[in-house]
Structure 1
Amino acid sequence: MNFYTASSFRNIEDVQFINDRLIKQGHHLTYDWTQSERVDMPAALQRIGQLELDAVQASDCLILVLPAGKGSHVELGIALANRIPVFLCMLDSTSWTGSEASTFYHIGDVRPCFGQTEDWVRTILDAMAERTVR
């Protein structure tokens, strides 16, 4: 299954952990933004933006690790518009129903994943296995 993991640079270790675990299980990461550096030049922003757009559109699911910034939420919007299932990863339900919640977390095929990184991976892998059986 193809996947893309969206988040902010502050969550880079969690994203790399998720990516590594899913790849070891035979899944394909469509783009690894964690290998990039922060950029601010228009040409570099455009190139990376296009790579990320293409990666989300080529994915069978999007994994969004919270807290995340505006770019990750744009990627969430792309996934929702393309009816791509989303795994919303967070430590607790504050981002699901609390003051950090977004209306967009509650539409489409969005599944919350609560707990630590290992819990998220287990939930995602179980759901991926379930989807491939269908």
Structure 2
Amino acid sequence: MASVSHIPLVKLLGVQPAGLNASSEGEIQVFYDYVHSFQEHLFRQPIHRLLGLVMTSLWGEPDPGIDFEFEKLEETNEKEAAEVEKTKAERDVILIDAGVISPEESRQRVAGDPDSDFSSIDVEDMPDLLEEEDDGLVVKGSSEERDEAA
């Protein structure tokens, strides 16, 4: 039944693999790839045609800038998502330090990423760190801050 439907046993019947190093991750990934290829093969063209008709009805002509993507079936856990964010942040720091991109461009990337925790930031509202850089950054509650207050 599972081979005919191309659905792994863990998804179809809830049967977990047993034994040493038994895992169904590979089967599930193959299943997700199969479903994605099925979506692309069967549904992309009809949905694209329908979108064109709706846009023509609304605006008189289709807008080539409007498209769609199928939702990913696999979910990343919080740890994997945090690792991806960390890697992107480290890449941005390297590119900024090398002079390839500016901090503003990095900020635009972060704000434009829907998966980012900072996707709602205002790109135009750049923090002004010039004064802090001139004075040197002082950690709150440190002995330097107490000396300055005295």
TM-score, structure 2 length as denominator? Answer: 0.19
User: Which has more radius of gyration?
Assistant: 2
